Structure formats: C-alpha cells, structure tokens
Amino acid sequence: MMFEEFVQVFIIGLLIFLPVSLIYKKAGFHPAWAALVFLPGFGLLVVFMHLALMPWPNLRDKTEHLP
C-alpha cells in the first residue's frame, strides 16, 4: 500500500517538475533547481521564493544594453 502512494506522489512531482524546470531554463537558471519540488512539505514554496527573490540572469543581459 505504501508503494502505491509513493508512485502517485512521484508522478505528481514529475507533473510539477517538468514545467518548473522549463521556467528555470527560460529565467536563465540551471533547470536542476526544479528538483527542489521534491522536498517534502515546503519544496514548492522554496522554488517560488527562489524565483521571486533572485535576480534573473537573462534579465541582466537585456538591461545592460539599455542606454
């Protein structure tokens, strides 16, 4: 019974992991940061806080060329 619940949690985690890894990639971060969603309890909160509070590398490139 516990194995079935683990599989369900893993599948749901993958459904969250894939879009979050794409967001990290487009933001200019390494997509492996998306593995934080697998932290039990507060992993998704850590991902959102990281994305909200860190300066995005791809935005720095665009603002450096402005006069």
State residue 21's pLDDT score. 93
By the 8 A CB rule, do 33 and 47 touch? yes
pTM for this model (two decimals): 0.72
Pair of tokens at residue 51 = 């994305």
Neighbours of 13 (CB within 10 A): 15
State residue 62's pLDDT score. 60
Each residue's pLDDT tens digit in the chain (67 positions)?
Answer: 688 888 998 898 889 999 999 999 988 889 998 998 888 788 889 888 988 998 888 776 565 555 5
Helix, strand, or coil here: 60? helix
Q: How many residues comprise the chain?
A: 67
